[in-house]
Amino acid sequence: MQSRPRFGYLVHDVARLIRAEFATRALKHRMTQTHMRTIAYLGRMEGCSQRELAEVIEVRPITLGRQLDLLEASGMIERRPDPLDRRAVCLYLTPRSRARLDQLHEIGDGIYERAMRNLSKADRETLHSLLETVRDTLAEDRAQQRGESTQTGAVSHHGH
């Protein structure tokens, strides 16, 4: 039996605990966890498509579409025409959601301080740097796999 939890389980457990703490603290803002995640990620990806945002927050585009409809109706997001594709729209925050995003960042900062309180500043920086490296490595691998499968699919499709 392994004495230390596997890396994936450990990362998942930390993320789950952070999400639970975040949801508890954010209840007073009357936003669902999905709405909070949508606003938070859109704050980092303004101008993206619905498909791109859905991929990052790990929901189906149709599911996200319903959430975006609600957020748009409540004045939290805007859909603007994509200047490069007249059939598509790009997603943007509104001033109202920017204020909400600031509140969400404050909540996140408080959770970070609480979670990291037993680590030195140097350990915090090292942990952050290491996690960024792991994320970037996995993202590069995923992008390469997608590129290969797209190229392979294109070759086999045209080869028949």
Return d(Cα 50, Cα 61) in angstroms, integer. 6
Confidence of residue 158 (pLDDT cuts 50, 70, 90): very low
Do the Cβ atoms of 103 and 27 come closer than 8 Å? no
Mean pLDDT for 122-127 is: 96
Domain positions in the chain are 7-118, 120-153
Mean pLDDT for 69-94 is: 93
Least confident of 23-37, 53-67, 78-92, 140-154: 140-154
**Neighbour-count burial of 120, counting CB atoms closer than 10 A to its CB (0-12 exposed, 13-18 middle, 19+ buried):** exposed
Is the model's pLDDT at 48 over the cut of 80? Answer: yes
**Domain 7-118 annotated CATH 1.10.10.10:** yes
Is the model's pLDDT at 17 over the cut of 90? Answer: yes
